[in-house]
Structure 1
Amino acid sequence: MAHTPVNHPARPIYRAIGGLTGLYLVVFGVLGIIASTGNEILAQDDTRVLGQGTNLGFSLLSVLLGIVVLVGTALGRNIDVAINQWLAYSLMVVSLAGLAFIRTDANIFNFSITTVIVVMTAALVLLMVGMYGKVGTEDEAEAFQKARLVL
């Protein structure tokens, strides 16, 4: 993407924020697994973790996505950028679908309004991290600066 900054000066901070977001997803997922042990995998009950509605299925998904974000953050080399951007878009879709089906039988992840807000916020944070964490050569950074100044 030509409009994505290369070698942004705050890149390490954005990478740390991405790692913290992945860590939050893992912690939320583990607490959700503990809280929903013994329930059906897609149960629609009153299970709450950190103020958010969840079930075993969404907790497992959160752990999986958090681990993917953490692995991407550990690897770096623009792999984290791709992972963060794609997961951000995926979480936005999950969040909006959760909002659309929140009071229906199709609410398979047992979302509440709080869950929708937190998942959408995590998605936006991952998108921001993905946009500003790109690493490149000095030539790529110079090309970005020249293109930016033209616009």
Structure 2
Amino acid sequence: MAHTPVNHPARPIYRAIGGLTGLYLVVFGVLGVVTTMGDELFAQDDTKVLGQGTNLGFSLLTIVIGAAVLAGTALGRNRDVAINQWTAYGLLALSLFELAFLQTDVNIFNFTIATVIVTMVLGLVLLMVGMYGKVGTEEDQKAWQEARLLL
């Protein structure tokens, strides 16, 4: 993609931000599992963790998502870019879905408006990290710069 920079000077910082985002997701998920242990998988009650509504199902999902982001960060070599971008798309879609059905029985992950906002922000952060973390050869970087000048 011509708009995705290659070998951005701040890519180590973006990679660290991606790792911290994955760590937050894992910590939130673990705290959510501890808090909701014994409840139904998709319980719809007033359970909150770190100020966000959650249930056992969403807590387990965030552990899996956070572990995937952390694994991608550890692997690097543009695998993290793909994982971060696809995870971002998934989080953004999930937050929009839950926002649409916030006050209904379809709110299977027990989202609150705070959960929607945090999920949306995490998705946007991962999308940014995925767009600026791409690594390539010198030829790739020169090709990106030439394509950028043509735009």
Q: Using structure 1 for the length normalisation, give the TM-score.
A: 0.99
In structure 2, C-alpha distance between the alignment counterparts of 1:106 and 1:129, rounded to whole Å: 31
Match of 1:28 in 2: 28
Aligned residues: 151
RMSD, aligned CA: 0.5
Match of 2:13 in 1: 13
In structure 1, C-alpha distance between the alignment counterparts of 2:54 and 2:116, rounded to whole Å: 11
In structure 2, C-alpha distance between the alignment counterparts of 1:64 and 1:150, rounded to whole Å: 41
- Residues 68-113 of structure 1: CA distance to partner in whole angstroms, max 9, x if unpaired? 0000000000000000000100111100011011100000000000
In structure 2, C-alpha distance between the alignment counterparts of 1:99 and 1:86, rounded to whole Å: 20
Residue 150 of structure 1 deviates from its aligned partner by 1.8
Match of 2:70 in 1: 70
Q: Could you tell me which runs of 5 or more consecutive residues in structure 1 were left unpaired when the two chains were aligned.
A: none
Match of 1:134 in 2: 134
In structure 1, C-alpha distance between the alignment counterparts of 2:108 and 2:49, rounded to whole Å: 16
Q: Using structure 2 for the length normalisation, give the TM-score.
A: 0.99
In structure 2, C-alpha distance between the alignment counterparts of 1:137 and 1:15, rounded to whole Å: 18
Instruction: Give the share of equivalent positions with the same residue, in percent.
Output: 74
Residue 149 of structure 1 deviates from its aligned partner by 1.5
Q: Aligned to 1:135, what secondary structure does the other structure show?
A: coil
Moved over 6 A (4+): none
The answer to whether the aligner puts 1:91 opposite 2:91 as a matched pair is: yes
Match of 2:108 in 1: 108
Match of 2:53 in 1: 53
- Residues 29-65 of structure 1: CA distance to partner in whole angstroms, max 9, x if unpaired? 0000011011000000110000000000000000000
Residue 3 of structure 1 deviates from its aligned partner by 1.0
Q: Could you tell me which runs of 5 or more consecutive residues in structure 2 were left unpaired when the two chains were aligned.
A: none
Residue 128 of structure 1 deviates from its aligned partner by 0.1
Q: Aligned to 1:43, what secondary structure does the other structure show?
A: coil
Q: Aligned to 2:128, what secondary structure does the other structure show?
A: helix
In structure 2, C-alpha distance between the alignment counterparts of 1:33 and 1:102, rounded to whole Å: 21
